[in-house]
Amino acid sequence: MNHTMKKILPLSALIIGILLSLPFLGQAQAKKTAGTASVGHSIQITLKPYQNTKIYLGTNYGNSRVLADSTLLNEKSEGVFESKNKLTPGIYFVVSPKYSILFDFLVDDAQHFKIVADTLHLTDVTITGSKENDVFKEYSKSMNTIGSQLNELETKFKAATSKADSTSITDQYNAKKKELVEKRQSVIKNQPKSMTAFFLNVMQRPDAPAIPIVNGKADSLYPFYFIKNHFWDDVIFNDDRLVRTPFFEAKLDEYFKNYVSREPDSIIEEVQYMLTVAKTGKEIFPFLLFKFTNKYISPEFMGQDKVFLHIYQNFFAKGDTVLLNEASRRSITDRAYSMMANQLGLAAPALVLNDVQDKKISLYDIKAPYTFIAFWDPTCSHCKVEIPRLDSFYKAIWKNYQINVLSVNINYKEIAAWKTFIKDHHLEGWTNAYQTEADLTKEIKEGRPTTIRQLYDVFKTPTFYLLDSGKRIIAKNLSIEQFNDFIVNTAKKANK
């Protein structure tokens, strides 16, 4: 009972809270022309007891909250949120002068209506001229009532002194939960085209079916795939209203965390579908595009940068850079080109360097079952910690697996400091090398499109790679401990 009795938050209660960041949306900057019939939105409001003070109109942008408009209340507590631009339909809320959310309501395509409210009686907000808010208010009222009843039952359950009382309360609680679900389904069935029904569909999660028996054997994976296949029922990804909810992005994160494989190709399939469908949406497309870009440009799991490359090649490179300013466009393009040559499974880019005696050495001349490449800078404070740790793993474990460490100094200006560090920390058994200034200058003069930093995506130091005997990239961008686990497990599999 303690695990199932959770507070039920109606739709209207899901976005009550304090605004943490309050940037204005671009659409709110249009000059107001109160009283003109041509304005895109005109929401009259009377909000007592506020007088001669500014209040705000807020909304969601995914998991974030933003301000969409403002108005100055007069001595009669009257004002108007008004602009020549229409608001993107969705869930909005009124924000007090001290930036606390007072109550929420819906904005659809009909954006001329009136709100009357009193901060001492926020459950009695009156909205006239908006049929969508009539449906929303009725639903919210019933949810608040059922939610209060469930909370009362939870309190009674905690105070119950006998098993009979606990059982009785549990039965009442489950009956109320059933009533809540039936009320939601009633709105969806009877008001299928309403915004309230739309948002309820977005919020819903499919219930897992019973495990079926196939040829006498339980199919334990069936419930998982059933939920995955029905997770987005009744949700179309080109609907801009999705952005103006507090629960769509959370549901999206849940889906990718629990129902999509971490393998890049599986993620790419999902991302490609969502972005393709969303392409006709004015707000949802850039929202999803930049969400996925930010997530996979520096991914949580190795190899998922392949997802970012797919996004770049299939969207940004095909014209969607118009959504970016010049600095962002250059940054994303440079980052994409830095990743192209060092994806998992590809042959590592050639390296011709100078060793500590300034003799030329080549990566592909190094013969070893595995080659570990460490790009670092002797002036980098993090490198000064990580490189000795790397050596400890090498001497204690990796050396036994015949791993050759190619240590590459990427700062040709600090050769003396580099050699001193090698000597002081006894980096013995490694191949220590660097690229001379002359070689780098020659590459640039010859017009080569990439440098070592670009070829190996060295945008931070240290940067590590693990190559197999054929110099194919088999691991990258892991911690030293993760590399150690990978090496040990890979070696065990090879021995088997």
Q: Count CB atoms within 10 A of the CB of residue 438.
A: 10
pLDDT in tens, the chain (496 residues): 333 333 323 333 332 222 333 334 434 433 444 444 467 999 999 999 999 999 999 999 999 999 999 999 999 999 999 999 999 999 999 999 999 999 999 999 999 999 999 999 998 999 999 999 999 999 999 998 999 999 999 999 999 889 999 999 999 999 999 999 999 999 999 999 999 999 999 999 998 899 988 888 988 999 999 999 999 998 999 999 999 999 999 999 999 999 999 999 999 999 999 999 999 999 999 999 999 999 999 999 999 999 999 999 999 998 877 778 888 888 899 889 989 999 999 999 999 999 999 999 999 999 999 999 999 999 999 999 999 999 999 999 999 999 999 999 999 999 999 999 999 999 988 999 999 988 888 877 776 656 888 899 998 999 999 999 999 999 999 999 999 999 999 888 877 6
Domain spanning 352-495: CATH 3.90.870.30: no
Q: Please state the separation of Cα 354 from the chain's center in Å.
A: 42
Q: What pLDDT is recorded for position 448?
A: 65
The two tokens of residue 245 are 């909810």
- Contact call for residues 387 and 427 (beta carbons, < 8 A): yes
Q: What pLDDT is recorded for position 454?
A: 87
Q: What pLDDT is recorded for position 38?
A: 60
Q: What pLDDT is recorded for position 449?
A: 54
Q: Residue 166, class by beta-carbon neighbours within 10 Å (0-12 exposed, 13-18 middle, 19+ buried)? A: middle
Q: What pLDDT is recorded for position 4?
A: 33
Q: Residue 163, class by beta-carbon neighbours within 10 Å (0-12 exposed, 13-18 middle, 19+ buried)? A: exposed
Phi, psi torsion values for 91, nearest 5 degrees: -90, 130
Q: What pLDDT is recorded for position 319?
A: 82
Q: What pLDDT is recorded for position 34?
A: 45
Domain positions in the chain are 1-202, 213-339, 352-495
What's the pTM?
0.83
